[in-house]
Amino acid sequence: MDIVIEGNLFIDGEIKKGCVGIDEGRIVSIKKILEGESHFDFGEKLIFPAGLDVHVHFREPGQTEKEDFFTGTRAAAMGGITFVMDMPNNKPPAMDSDALERKIKTVKNKACIDFALYGGIGEDSDIPAMAQKCKAFKMYLSGDNEMFVPIGKMEYVLQKVKESGRILAVHAESPDCIKRNEARNLSEHERNRPVRCEIEEIKKIMEINRGVGTKIHICHVSSSRSIDVLKGSGASMGVTPHHIFFSTSSKFRYEAMGKVNPPLRHEEERMKLFGAVRHGFDGVIESDHAPHLLEEKEDFPAAPSGMPGVDSSLPLMMEEVKRGHIDLSMVHRWMCRNPARTFGINKGEIEKGRDADLIVIDFKERKIEPYSKCGWSSYEGWSGIYPTHVFLRGEMIVENGEFTGSKGMGDMIL
């Protein structure tokens, strides 16, 4: 076989000393002893499936001063992520077949990890045509942008998405609940968009979908109460690291570094959310990587919402494992198995037939480092556990903490 990777393998919730055999980018054998043309022996280090991040905003086309597809995918690789799903919030937004085709031509030769694209949905979107060029769809119920569908047309849109065989990712905040008042700090921003806005809209979309049965993914759930509403609904859900680690009480260099939508919640709500995630959460951890220039964050009222995170999500979670707050099986479920299963990606497990996307972990701490083009992180000063090596379909793209991949290595997955 082409490649053999040896070490402490994370398989079926257990760590087993052994070898992974790889041919043509896929895992073909898992045994205690294997021989191959190339053999990488990582000793007692952990060999773990690479992470998948199903919610990123790489800003290309239209805002490449903040991030482009190469810098975004490289940042992901440095954090142990080998597959991303990029949102359609571009300039212009990827809301029709032509816009998606232009975006594909722009980014496909820049990606250094595998990727898929979302198509944005408005009330007049040609969903069947777009479904040929995107892996999933995205809709904002909040009315924050043009990717919005009035309630009267929601059932029709859900039916069209169901017929396409795609999944619909939803930003669930009620536009009638959100106050559009100027906010001068995190507490005021949260007051404008309280938890009930999220809960109301989750209930509404799930009620409409009850008679349709479209596959729905609720993005960036920010409250334990929202998790309770979604349990047993059939919908998948995502939670971001920033909603479980930060609150309105958190301190940042500029307060607007913590300005996101849905907002950071009060400390008590944050603790309840993290508790719910640690106890029975069966969704995904998604970064909602949304980079802006640091100077845009200096003035809170004018600052755009969003923070970078694709490069820090997995290191932060591995740090929580080291501290004993969560275990490896949780990280695997949230960042490998569940996103792969939810969106139909052949990654996320060390098993025969899967893509050989693997990371090597030695559990040595270092400070969180911003790899995004925007050049900053809200987690500055925090510690994380970064992979020493990263393999994309058996090919090493990070070696001893240094990026060794190249543009165009990543494949688009439909």
Structure tokens given for 402: 């240094």
What is the reported pLDDT for 145? Answer: 85
Report whether 390 contacts 359 (CB < 8 A): yes
The residue extents of the domains of the chain are: 3-47+355-403, 51-343
Contact 140, 178 (CB under 8 A): no
pLDDT tens string 336-388: 999 999 999 999 999 999 999 999 999 999 999 999 999 999 999 999 999 99
Taking the domain 51-343, which CATH number applies?
A: 3.20.20.140
Give the number of C-alpha atoms closer than 13 A to the C-alpha of residue 11, restricted to the C-beta side.
17
Question: Per the residue annotation, which of 96, 288, 311, 357 is the catalytic one?
Answer: 288
Look at residue 173 and tell me whether its pLDDT is greater than 90: yes
Residue type, 291: P
**Annotation says 126 is catalytic:** no
- 3-class DSSP state for residue 63? coil
pLDDT digits (tens, 9 = 90+) for 180-194: 999 999 999 999 999
Using one digit for the tens of pLDDT, what is the confidence trace for 277-302?
999 899 999 999 999 999 999 999 99
The Cα–Cα gap between 6 and 221 comes to: 38
Does residue 123 carry a pLDDT above 90? Answer: no
Exposure on the CB side of residue 285, measured as CA atoms within 13 A:
28
pLDDT of residue 1: 82
Q: Do the domains spanning 3-47+355-403 and 51-343 agree at the CATH topology level? A: no
Average pLDDT over residues 37-64: 97
Which of these CATH numbers, 3.40.50.20, 2.30.40.10, 3.30.1490.190, 3.10.180.10, describes 3-47+355-403?
A: 2.30.40.10
Provide the pLDDT for residue 267.
98
How far from each other are the two terminal CA atoms of the chain, in whole angstroms?
A: 28
